Amino acid sequence: MKAVLFDIDGTLITTGGAGAVAWRLAFQELYGIPADIGAFSDAGMTDPVVGRATFTNAVGHVPTDAELDEVMEARLRYLPQAVAESDGYCVLPGVPTLLRSLSDAGRLLGLTTGGVEPAARIKLGRGGLNEYFAFGGYGSDSPDRTELTRRAVERAAAIDGNGLRPSDCLVVGDTPLDIAAAHGAGAVAVGVATGHYGVEELRACGADYVVASLEDGLPL
């Protein structure tokens, strides 16, 4: 495996609900509605899909592109403070040790996250993890998880410059959507049971490998 691409929420960190707080404040500011994204979204969905679904259900109509952009921009304004003040924020077990080991071994490390890139960087920043990731695929690349994973693989290949193939990449995530996206991009899917789904659930959705946490290492 030449490259390892990581999801963020539930895989590398948990924000303790900071993302939901930022969305709620954004909708409160713009529409006077403290919208709860948890009522309209599932783990692993991309930010544009979460924003559109929450807007449609909470505000009562499908947002225009301009309306969705406005909500997402407001959410980004609130996110740094929400992350900084979250009592539940933590870097998940084994993550710092694993990232240092992979980096020292010369693996390419990237992200495959449904969050837009600025949100991803804000979330990783508190845990001191941004330094490990020079590239990735983000919700700002595409609302489709498979497509953004393809973008991350393409960027890994461009950095590698030695014919890296999708099958040379591990995609590590904690949801069935991460697993499906990895396979859709032609990569190897590793499920990690530190989010909403257990080991057996991740196996059942087709993960090539499953680990209980990143303390267990990866199948390199």
Find the mean pLDDT for residues 139-155. 96
pLDDT category of residue 189 using cuts at 50, 70 and 90: very high
At residue 84, the pLDDT reads 97
Q: Rounded distance, CA 100 to CA 143, Å?
A: 30
At residue 154, the pLDDT reads 97
At residue 6, the pLDDT reads 98
At residue 69, the pLDDT reads 95
| Domains, the chain, ordered by start | 3-15+89-216 (3.40.50.1000), 18-85 (1.10.150)
Residue 21 token pair = 């707080």
In the three-class reduction of DSSP (H, G, I as helix; E, B as strand; rest coil), residue 21 is classed as helix
The proportion of the chain whose per-residue pLDDT surpasses 90, expressed as a percent, equals 92
DSSP labels for 98-138? HHHHHHHTT-EEEEE-SS-HHHHHHHHHHTT-GGG-SEEE-
Whether 121 and 13 have beta carbons less than 8 Å apart is answered as no
DSSP labels for 161-201? -S---GGGEEEEESSHHHHHHHHHTT-EEEEESSSSS-HHH
**Contacts by residues 193-202 (CB-CB < 8 Å, ≥ 24 positions apart):** 194/10, 194/11, 194/92, 194/93, 195/9, 195/10, 195/11, 195/43, 196/10, 196/43, 197/43, 201/176, 202/174, 202/176
* Three-state helix/strand/coil letters over 74-108: HHHHHHHHHHHHCCCCEECCCHHHHHHHHHHCCCE
Phi, psi of 75 (to 5 degrees): -60, -40
Q: Give the residues across from 170 on adjacent strands.
A: 4, 188
At residue 42, the pLDDT reads 76
Q: Rounded distance, CA 50 to CA 167, Å?
A: 29
Minimum mean pLDDT among 17-26, 39-48, 140-149, 177-186: which range?
Answer: 39-48
Q: Rounded distance, CA 88 to CA 126, Å?
A: 12
The answer to whether residue 12 scores a pLDDT higher than 80 is yes
Q: Rounded distance, CA 206 to CA 107, Å?
A: 25
By C-alpha distance, which of 140, 139, 115, 129 is closest to 9? 115
Whether 153 and 185 have beta carbons less than 8 Å apart is answered as yes
The answer to whether residue 179 scores a pLDDT higher than 90 is yes
At residue 38, the pLDDT reads 82
Find the mean pLDDT for residues 162-185. 96
Q: What is the pLDDT of residues 69-93, one digit of tens each?
A: 999 999 999 999 999 999 999 999 9
Mean pLDDT, rounded, of the chain: 95
Find the mean pLDDT for residues 170-186. 97
Find the mean pLDDT for residues 144-151. 96
At residue 40, the pLDDT reads 80
Q: What is the pLDDT of residues 21-66, one digit of tens each?
A: 999 999 999 999 988 888 887 777 899 999 999 999 999 999 999 9
Query: Could you tell me which residue, 40 or 17, shows the higher pLDDT?
Result: 17
